[in-house]
Structure 1
Amino acid sequence: MGAYFGVSTIFILCLLGFSANAEVFSIGSSSGSDITQALLKAFTSACQSPSPSKVVIPKGEFKLGEIEMRGPCKAPVEITLQGTVKADGNAIQGKEKWVVFGNINGFKLNGGGAFDGEGNAAWRVNNCHKTFNCKKLPISIRFDFVENAEIKDISSIDAKNFHINVLGAKNMTMSNIKITAPEDSPNTDGIHLGRSDGVKILDSFISTGDDCISVGDGTSNLHVEKVTCGPGHGISVGSLGRYGKEQDVSGIRVVNCTLQETDNGLRIKTWPSAACSTTASDIHFEDIIVKNVTNPILIDQEYCPWNQCNKKKASTIKLVNISFKNVRGTSGNKDAVKLLCSKGYPCQNVEIGDIDIKYSGEDGPATFQCSNVSPKLLGAQSPEACSSPLTKLPGQ
């Protein structure tokens, strides 16, 4: 379905990386209608176009059912969401997806619109944070094996499960993403990543009921900058070690971010009874502001929520080359810094530089705790840094 374009329209398309003969596919449905089939048809046509194409969802509110938009495509595809698409408001247990973009090389998603997961009814039946044996709820937006992508100027509201899940991505940039859900909504991670390389998350706001950003196994070369998080559970690497055959994590950099009123701050978490033995390395947090954050800096290699593991078994996840530098602000409890490393595989090469975290509660001043780690200290430390002897590795 082609269209005639004026000179100004052609100029705009060229700025977006489209040639003058690009096709634009618009969802011509009226506000309030179900656009599932119309969107799938438009995407399929765009994906088969030999030249870059664009799909436009106009302003208004639309119903959208479960949909998978998968390639490979013959040329780059852009989707511009100007309105709001709304999921089924009821609990849908056993389904793990709502909107999926998959197997596309050269992809853009933008437009200023919103994905509304209508999760309120579903949260009441979600117990996956308490048990392994639970029926999954749908992730709002999934990017499966999407490469060379630009995701910007979109919102995710009230996801039933994770807001955004990124799996197998390469060279993806997310910017100006807004994610919102109540602080008591379970398992509503803002952006979760796994098995991905070269992802950037920039200039975004995340307020939700679980981790703002969670980094799963196999993630490498992740850059997070100018993200405001809160409420939520902070920015977390992990949890790692819950499942077998997990892959190493490396090259994580979080800079110039603000965490406010979060249950945790900058966190690395691994299961003590890990099902695998992998390494998480080169993880760096720098220039971070914390505002009334519980556990602002936390390495937790005894992570075992709801007693789902054997705490007596030391974590086999190795943490190497970790740094926390220029972290300042206020703590919501006295545990400003906790480095709880594995007694089986103590943390290696941990640097702490210029920490200034204050706590004004009645139960005493802020504290700095360590176990199975001897951090390298740079600059000033407030609270005063720990001095803990490094436990030797097995066989040393």
Structure 2
Amino acid sequence: MVDGSNLEMNFQGYLKATAKLSRYGSGTGWVEFGWLERLTLTGGGTFDGQGAKAWPYNNCTNDSKCKLLPTNVKFVAMNQTVVQGITSLNSKFFHIALVECKNFKGTKIKISAPADSPNTDGIHVERSSSVYISQSLIGTGDDCISIGQGNSQVTITRIRCGPGHGISVGSLGRYEDEGDVSGLVVRDCAISGTMNGIRIKTWANSPGSSAATNMTFENIVMNNVTNPIIIDQSYCPFSSCISTEPSKVKLSDIYFKQIRGTSSSAVAVALECSKGIPCQNIYLENVHLELSSGEKQATSSCKNVRARYIGEQIPPPCA
């Protein structure tokens, strides 16, 4: 961990993490920067987490109280950070994580891990504001980019995503006192061969109420994506979940514009909202998603949503 101000780091070469999990605490960063003003990290170097030796010990899909493996590079409580040209390879857990950061700019970042590597989110953002991520190539075993709780004014542009689980908001609503998400813009991205394209996911049985609002997803190309547009307010990553109460996370003022490409599943647009707090003001404008197989036509699925449609709509809107 490095503390201070006005640090310029030119990181070159190849840095390998130890594979001994006893050397890390739960949820820590292998390389961690904290409480810094005006850090610039450049140089084109590679952070190799050697995750393949650790992934067999990731049991988070079966144990909600699992020990979190280390993140490759973590930024905590940073302000005015610039990260450019670095590579993160085979992280044990998340590749890059931003927690309580302000004014972060990340460009020309490369992130790589196999499609079956567990919980290897490319870039995770939480409780942060004024974040800009662009011109980056991300292929991993989980979300290419995940937007957690408490974020505002996050812009994601010119990302090439795949393999992985797409670009996600959430999961939201798992814990009490989560912060709202607002002012997210995702535009000019290409998503290929992923499980999801654009996904918003919230937990059922959420203990507190929060909101995700004023979010725009625009000019995004999907290539053979299983769920190109999906809202899932009954999210459960474990082998089984018992849902007794609907999600209390309010979703509103969400715009899907100029989304085009192909879906590998029959349902290309799934808007599955909470029956406790139905989604409001969901806009779909000029959506064109064909089936990858070229057979018949893709379909839409909707629950508890007030959607508005503008321009071309393939698949057709829900009845």
- What TM-score does the superposition give when structure 1 sets the normalisation length? 0.78
Report how far residue 82 of structure 1 moved: 1.1
- The alignment status of 1:384 with 2:316, answered yes or no, reads yes
Asked if the contact 2:183–2:215 (Cα under 8 Å) also holds between the matched residues in 1, the reply is yes
Structure 1 match to 2:65:
133
Aligned length: 317
Structure 2 match to 1:30:
none
Structure 1 match to 2:16:
86
Q: Which has more radius of gyration? A: 1
Local SS of the residue matching 1:142: strand
Question: Which consecutive residues of structure 1, in runs of 5 or more, have no partner in the other structure?
Answer: 1-67, 388-396
Structure 2 match to 1:268:
200
Q: Report which of the two has the higher share of strand.
A: 2
Map 1:157-172 onto structure 2 (within 5 A): 157-172=89-104
CA 1:307–1:313 in 2, change beyond 3 Å: closer, same or farther? farther
- The alignment status of 1:287 with 2:227, answered yes or no, reads no
**Counterpart pick for 1:252 among 171, 176, 184:** 184
Map 1:220-369 onto structure 2 (within 5 A): 220-306=152-238, 309-361=241-293, 365-369=297-301
Report how far residue 350 of structure 1 moved: 0.5
Query: For residue 370 of structure 1, what is the amino acid of its counterpart?
Result: C
Query: For residue 77 of structure 1, what is the amino acid of its counterpart?
Result: L
Report how far residue 362 of structure 1 moved: 8.8
Structure 1 match to 2:119:
187
Distance, in Å, in 1 between the alignment partners of 2:242 and 2:179 is 22
Structure 1 match to 2:305:
373
Alpha-carbon RMSD across the aligned residues, in angstroms, is 1.4
Asked if the contact 1:91–1:121 (Cα under 8 Å) also holds between the matched residues in 2, the reply is no
Local SS of the residue matching 1:301: strand
Query: For residue 181 of structure 2, what is the amino acid of its counterpart?
Result: V
- What TM-score does the superposition give when structure 2 sets the normalisation length? 0.96
Query: For residue 187 of structure 1, what is the amino acid of its counterpart?
Result: N
What percent identity do the matched residue pairs reach? 46
Q: Report which of the two has the higher share of helix.
A: 1
Asked if the contact 2:64–2:238 (Cα under 8 Å) also holds between the matched residues in 1, the reply is no
Report how far residue 310 of structure 1 moved: 3.1
Structure 2 match to 1:211:
143
Question: Which consecutive residues of structure 2, in runs of 5 or more, have no partner in the other structure?
Answer: none
Distance, in Å, in 2 between the alignment partners of 1:229 and 1:347 is 27
Report how far residue 276 of structure 1 moved: 1.4
CA 1:108–1:308 in 2, change beyond 3 Å: closer, same or farther? farther
Report how far residue 135 of structure 1 moved: 1.6
Structure 2 match to 1:196:
128
Distance, in Å, in 1 between the alignment partners of 2:252 and 2:290 is 28
For CA contacts below 8 A with separation 6 or more, give which structure has more relative contact order. 2
Report how far residue 386 of structure 1 moved: 1.0
Report how far residue 374 of structure 1 moved: 2.3
